[in-house]
């Protein structure tokens, strides 16, 4: 196991020993799911299963009135009989410790695993007297080897350490994050370190951040702030958001998201900009429509641009239709993106039927059809065919016109 898990398992043993002599020990467990699947597709036949449940241990010291608790969760999957610890937590009188056997979401400025988290596993420490303050230790590379005492040519600190403080002050949510980490998460013999500090503020219409760091190219710093004003006169809502952005070298930091995506236009960039965001949204009985315009002036090259995002949604049971037209710069029509999605779903007794269609600006279209049948409680059958499915595992339906997928699936779960 990784070093954080070894340390916390040692803590578990100590806690169990202490609690064993108490009359106020409670052990309980809860099953969340148990699932068996038989899947057939164009590549072959597979069987699989998974289970997930939690075990809780608690103890209280009534004479002091302060409970001390320890809990952990673990899951089981596959016919390989492999057990894995998901998480552990210790909630004591002075200190709270949480261990999770997956990447950490410290802050949006520290993302690596498909821009969702950072690291492989992590622990969070917080003081009971100051719960707003949290300390993170995130494993990036495993360094320890307890099978030998012979030193090896490895870097002692090859991970990420961070501190985070959150507080609401006069209606303003403030979050301060500071982190020190190794930029090379694939090697344990060399390291280049960075530190980053970020302040987030949000409240009373004001939103933004201020950041600084030390990437290899030099000092990084920046600030962004915007103010939102909105007015509603049913069925129309109008919002105006003026803002300013000033930064240098932020894109050189190791774990910031610098990739522009049509469906997620918020990302870290460098430069000096002022803008006004204008949104008009109309809600009607069967759906809504909105227009977003963002005139932007760059002080770096004295250039004027305008982001444009048009959306429309219509829902009439069992049909729903969504259309989005996005232009990164409406002045020269650069990075234009649009997509039309239509979905239909119906359930009749124990049978469910679904179909979907998508068409985008690359003149590509995709479709799918799915039929499900509930044989009895907990036992379901499903058949799927189509070119519209989540191929890259990011949670959105991808258009795959040249790669149709089909499968039959029998699932038993409770």
What is the per-residue pLDDT across 120-136, written as a single tens digit (0 to 9) for each?
Answer: 888 999 998 999 999 99
> First vs last Cα of the chain: how many Å apart?
31
Q: Report, as an integer, the average pLDDT of 26-43.
A: 75
Please tell me the predicted confidence (pLDDT) of residue 64.
Answer: 57
Of 70-84, 261-275, 386-400, the least confident: 70-84
What is the per-residue pLDDT across 182-234, written as a single tens digit (0 to 9) for each?
Answer: 887 666 666 788 999 999 999 999 999 999 999 888 899 999 999 999 999 99
String of b and e for 345-362 (b: at least 16 CB within 10 Å)? eeeeeeebebbbbbbbee
Q: Report, as an integer, the average pLDDT of 149-162.
A: 72
Q: What is the pLDDT confidence band of residue 148, given thresholds at 50, 70 and 90?
A: low
Apex 300 CA angle, 299 and 304, nearest 5? 55
Please tell me the predicted confidence (pLDDT) of residue 263.
Answer: 45
Q: Report, as an integer, the average pLDDT of 92-120.
A: 83
Please tell me the predicted confidence (pLDDT) of residue 73.
Answer: 63
Give SS3 for 234.
Answer: coil
**Burial, 334: exposed, middle or buried (Cβ in 10 Å; 0-12, 13-18, 19+)?**
exposed
Give SS3 for 13.
Answer: helix
pTM for the predicted model, two decimal places:
0.74
Residue 270 has pLDDT above 80, yes or no: yes
């Amino acid at each position: 196991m990784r070093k954080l898990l070894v340390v916390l398992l040692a803590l578990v043993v100590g806690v169990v020993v202490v609690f064993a002599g108490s009359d106020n020990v409670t052990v309980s467990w809860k099953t969340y799911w148990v699932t068996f699947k038989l899947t057939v597709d164009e590549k072959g036949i597979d069987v699989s299963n998974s289970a997930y449940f939690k075990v809780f241990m608690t103890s209280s010291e009534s004479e002091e009135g302060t409970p001390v608790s320890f809990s952990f969760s673990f899951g089981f999957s596959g016919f390989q009989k492999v057990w894995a610890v998901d998480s552990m937590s210790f909630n004591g009188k002075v200190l709270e410790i949480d261990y999770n056997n997956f990447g950490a979401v410290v802050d949006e400025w520290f993302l690596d695993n498909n821009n969702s988290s950072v690291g492989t596993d992590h622990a969070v420490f917080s003081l009971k007297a100051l719960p707003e303050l949290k300390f993170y230790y995130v494993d990036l590379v495993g360094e320890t080897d307890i099978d030998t005492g012979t030193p090896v040519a490895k870097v002692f600190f090859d991970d990420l350490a961070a501190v985070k403080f959150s507080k609401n002050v006069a209606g303003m949510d403030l979050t301060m994050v500071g982190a020190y980490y190794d930029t090379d998460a694939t090697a344990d013999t060399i390291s280049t370190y960075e530190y980053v500090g970020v302040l987030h503020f949000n409240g009373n219409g004001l939103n933004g951040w201020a950041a600084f760091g030390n990437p290899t190219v030099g000092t990084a710093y920046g600030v962004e702030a915007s103010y939102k004003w909105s007015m509603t006169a049913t069925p129309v809502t109008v919002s105006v958001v003026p803002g300013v952005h000033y930064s240098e070298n932020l894109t050189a930091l190791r774990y910031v998201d610098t990739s522009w995506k049509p469906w997620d236009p918020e990302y870290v960039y460098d430069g000096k900009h002022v803008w006004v965001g204008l949104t008009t949204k109309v809600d009607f009985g069967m759906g809504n429509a909105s227009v977003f315009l963002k005139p932007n002036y760059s002080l770096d090259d004295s250039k004027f641009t305008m982001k444009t995002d048009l959306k429309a949604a219509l829902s009439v049971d069992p049909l729903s239709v969504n259309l989005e037209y996005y232009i990164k710069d409406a002045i020269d029509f650069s990075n234009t993106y649009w997509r039309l999605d239509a979905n239909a779903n119906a359930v009749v007794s124990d049978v469910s039927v679904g179909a979907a269609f998508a068409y985008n600006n690359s003149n590509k279209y995709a479709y799918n059809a799915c039929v499900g049948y509930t044989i009895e409680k907990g036992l379901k059958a499903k058949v799927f065919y189509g070119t519209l499915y989540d191929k890259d595992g990011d949670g959105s339906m991808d258009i795959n016109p040249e790669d149709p997928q089909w499968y039959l699936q029998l699932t038993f779960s409770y």
